[in-house]
Amino acid sequence: MTKRIFVTATNTDIGKTYTTKLLLKEFSSRGIRVGVIKPIETGVDEIAYDGVELLECVQALNSEFMSLKVNDIVPITYKLAAAPYISSNKKNLDLNKLDLAIKKIENLCDILIIEGAGGLYVPIDEKYKMIDLISYFKATTLLVTHCSLGCINDTLLSEKALKDLDINFITAFNCNLNSNEFSKISEPYFLDTKKDVLKVDENIDTICDVLYNF
């Protein structure tokens, strides 16, 4: 059975696609057939840029994806760069379309990385928020957070949301931007309250170990 890992973040532009590509490369280096899907992407006029990046990455790692197109990787797109609820003009989420897309991709891989859009409470339609997709897909979760001022609050709020729904998750810090003062202004708190502070660039192997063994 294909293992599902959902990559979410504390907000938009935190580094989900960057992290997803690192996960794909690390798992592939271990001889595991990797796959990827981004169920929803907004801000798509003609090109789903995240989808293109993900497709090119996975095709370089798993030849079984060579016949797939961007719309296989991103089955639902909207033009306006906003929450899907707004971009779709309150259109109901087509879960069947997502199920069919995932079924097609899971035939080609042993680990499926599912990249979310925005943060956990981004509204998709009147019923679903992004966090609801994690539960629906029964996926283990990687929460990507930033390293700049404010990351303590942002991280704790997102972690609480995941805990409240009993979702298995780990947190990783994307410190490739605005991280010069992380060790002074934020990291001490996390070191005092967590066993490990995992960083996307430095600890991708450990992150994959934990996610794989959940």
Condensed to tens digits (0 to 9), the pLDDT of residues 141-175 reads: 999 999 999 999 999 999 999 999 999 999 999 99
d(CA 27, CA 199): 17
| Res 194: pLDDT | 82
121 φ/ψ angles, rounded to the nearest 5 degrees: -100, 20
| Whether pLDDT at 176 is above 90 | no
Q: Exactly one of 16, 38, 129, 199 is catalytic; which is it?
A: 38
| Whether pLDDT at 179 is above 70 | no
Is 38 among the catalytic positions? yes
Residue-range domain boundaries for the chain = 3-213
Residue range 102-129: mean pLDDT, rounded: 98
Q: Which CATH number fits domain 3-213: 3.40.50.2020, 2.170.190.11, 3.90.700.10, 3.40.50.300?
A: 3.40.50.300
pLDDT, one tens digit per residue, over 16-57 is: 999 999 999 999 999 999 999 999 999 999 999 999 999 999
Measuring CA to CA, which residue among 135, 128, 114 is closest to residue 58?
114
Measuring CA to CA, which residue among 137, 140, 147 is closest to residue 105?
137
> Model-level pTM?
0.96
| Res 156: pLDDT | 97
